[in-house]
A and B are shown apart, each in its own frame.
Chain A
């Protein structure tokens, strides 16, 4: 430890800080006591329903929607970002139009739209080829995944674009001068560095999508929240079942946050604060 002198150092008194900490501890303790002892929280009911088959099935659907929609969002976002940065004015305009439309309309409307797509196109398929019954193809789950995924792509496009443009143009130039193609430059040099900028907002988006997936309930997908609602609409144990759903959302968010931490560490290779670690 660094010391200005060899003399003993008396730190400034921090009485204000100590007082604030004491007050916060008291308030938190009161809150915890009330949550633990108020019988209307129904902790025994929470415990009974936490691993109920309907709840676990709902959780599984929520995870499916989140993972699939985010995969569509990331893949679509990268493509849209590259289009946005392309030399072709047409591709730039196309990407801009997509982002404008999908960010500009409520995701709820988009979801309902996909759910009712068979009203517009009862059959799809190649002209003269075998047709596909859209009603059978676009199940509520598929509608939810596409609705949320295509919407997410618009947001991911902007995040990816911000990441790519944050990298100094000298990086791409050096790669070019070494004979790398544009694709190699992007994959090996630009994107790995852009990841540092892209990961934190992407984790935000993933966590946000996890919770937004609950609006799939409007198209009758029995995801986590809707499963809880279906149970309490029968037994009126509203608060305990909302607590059950919240605990699961918190659990998944915790896992995602841990994943974010390790991803960030992996992609901050070479950054000063990591490099200097022994």
Chain B
């Protein structure tokens, strides 16, 4: 049932429907992401792009459709054509393999930068504290913050906090990274340092889905750009094509507003 390999998609989401109350946020959205691919999702606020991202690691439960991550059905087990909900432990294991970076960083304020990075290693993966610490320090080095290991989040700038958050997600050795508007809460002069770290991840071959307003970043690093509006995918394609010659009027209208 589960197959892996380069030909298998990392993300295969089909027919995703999600409602908040009576408001339908996602209308049968389908999205496939290949291994090693970088997909940027753009669109006006309220278009459902963040919700789609949050469905991919089951922070939101979907009402219809199915999500397959690396050949494994997310949240359910299929037996004789029926979907059986998985126990919490298994869902947590599935989530642990998907890194997520939030718009508001969501660092744990009662833990130092290093403790933030290693907390899940110790609690979830039961890594011995010493090994986790070594790995945590290496990851902080990778995001350029080796000297801030013992600082609490409140002592760090927004850009530094977001880099710690990226290191924290990377600590779990994810096969997929989700970024939910990672630079939207940052002062303009701090955006660059976070994008630099993300570019480095792209170079390292990480599979990434990025919800972003940074059009230059999307144009630069994305293999594919997805434009969403009102709960549906309007258009998708390589950045060179989508930004230069959008086929849909709504894409053109949006791009002319943000450009």
User: Taking beta carbons and an 8 Å cutoff, which residues of A are in contact with B?
Assistant: 168, 170-171, 173-182, 184, 188-189, 192-193, 267, 269-272, 275-276
Contact = CB atoms under 8 A, between A and B. Distances in A.
Given A174-B100, A184-B124, A269-B111, 4 more contacts: A173-B106, A177-B169, A192-B110, A275-B152
Given A177-B59, A179-B93, A188 B119 contact: yes
Interface string B103-124: 0101111111000000110011
B14 to A, nearest CB: 23
Contacts of A267: 110
A174 B88 CA distance: 16
B134 to A, nearest CB: 19
A177 B98 CA distance: 8
29 contacts: A170-B102, A170-B106, A171-B106, A173-B59, A175-B120, A176-B59, A177-B57, A177-B59, A177-B95, A177-B98, A177-B102, A178-B124, A179-B95, A179-B96, A179-B97, A180-B120, A181-B92, A182-B88, A184-B124, A188-B123, A189-B108, A192-B110, A193-B110, A269-B152, A270-B111, A270-B112, A270-B153, A275-B152, A275-B155
Contacts of A276: 155
A192 B111 CA distance: 10
Interface size band for B: 20 to 34
B172 A178 contact: yes
Interface centre among B100, B106, B152, B165 (most CB of A within 10 A): B106
A68 B172 CA distance: 42
B89 interface: yes
Contacts of A168: 106
A271 B119 contact: no
A270 B107 CA distance: 11
Contacts of A175: 108, 120
Give 10 closest A-B pairs by Cβ, nearest first. Answer: A179-B96, A178-B120, A174-B106, A177-B100, A270-B152, A170-B106, A179-B124, A270-B110, A275-B152, A270-B109
A13 to B, nearest CB: 40
Contact of B95 (A176, A192, A270): A176
A266 to B, nearest CB: 10
A168 B97 CA distance: 24
Contacts of B106: 168, 170-171, 173-174
B18 interface: no
B108 A171 contact: yes
A276 B155 CA distance: 8
Nearest to A269: B110
Contact of B102 (A173, A188, A275): A173
B163 interface: no
B248 interface: no
Nearest to B57: A177
A167 to B, nearest CB: 10
B172 A179 contact: yes
A192 B154 CA distance: 16
A178 B110 contact: no
Interface in B132-183: 151-155, 165, 168-169, 172
A95 B99 CA distance: 36
A275 B148 CA distance: 13
B104 A170 contact: yes
Interface centre among A174, A193, A272 (most CB of B within 10 A): A174
Contacts of B98: 177
B11 to A, nearest CB: 16
Interface string B75-99: 0000000000000110011011111
Contacts of A270: 109-112, 152-154
A166 to B, nearest CB: 13
Contact of B168 (A170, A178, A181): A178
Contacts of A181: 88-89, 92
B211 to A, nearest CB: 14
A173 B105 CA distance: 11
Contacts of A275: 151-152, 154-155
Contacts of B120: 175, 178-180
B171 to A, nearest CB: 8
A272 B151 CA distance: 11
A176 B57 CA distance: 10
Contacts of B57: 177
B88 A193 contact: no
B52 to A, nearest CB: 15
Interface string B189-216: 0000000000000000000000000000
B109 A193 contact: yes
Nearest to B168: A178
A178 B96 contact: yes
A170 to B, nearest CB: 4
A182 B89 CA distance: 10
Interface centre among A171, A188, A270, A276 (most CB of B within 10 A): A270
